[in-house]
Amino acid sequence: MQFFNTGLEALCSGLLAAVIAQLIKVITYLCTHKKINFKIFTTTGGMPSSHTAGVIALSTSVALIEGIDSMLFAVSLGFSLIVMQDASGVRRAAGKTAATLNRLVDEFVQKNHEVKPYTALKELLGHTPLEVFCGAILGIFVPLVVHNYNFLISLI
């Protein structure tokens, strides 16, 4: 089965970049909190953006295989830009809204001495522009390594 210069190379580059981004989050948490938290591996938000790393790696692989003047690259880049805008725009705004709602409910509960009526909403949904940028850098780097140093993949 041929791996290089195929859709399989592009898919694996995207998945690998996303997994590496999530591993970076786990390692960062370990270094800052001195304990391991595997939940971090499956959560959204944080540095770097794994969504961005994955889609930019896919687009970069398509560019390396098909060329930057191909229709497939144009489609994959368009898809990547939408995902990146969503990560830093819509999902980030939803996270800020969740934080505000959580704070309001906590203040209401404390003021009225009531039992908290629901589980707190998840606040870390989106990314800052820096987190998206770092995800993009990772997403460019991973497929360059996969594409140009194919012997690394053959060892796996």
Count CB-CB contacts under 10 A for residue 118: 8
Nearest CA-CA partner of 156 in 39, 40, 9, 24: 9
pLDDT band at 138 (very low <50, low <70, confident <90, very high): very high
Q: Is residue 11 within 8 Å of 58, Cβ to Cβ?
A: yes
pLDDT band at 142 (very low <50, low <70, confident <90, very high): very high
pLDDT digits (tens, 9 = 90+) for 2-19: 666 778 889 999 999 999
At 23 the pLDDT is 92
Which of 30-39, 89-98, 130-139 shows the lowest per-residue confidence on average (mean pLDDT)? 89-98
At 130 the pLDDT is 86
Contacts of 41 (CB under 8 A, 6+ apart): 22, 23, 25, 26
At 81 the pLDDT is 93
In percent, the amount of the chain with pLDDT more than 90 equals: 38
Nearest CA-CA partner of 7 in 82, 51, 64: 64
Distance CA 142, CA 19 (A): 11
At 5 the pLDDT is 77
At 147 the pLDDT is 86
Question: Over 70: is that where the pLDDT of 92 sits?
Answer: no
pLDDT band at 155 (very low <50, low <70, confident <90, very high): low
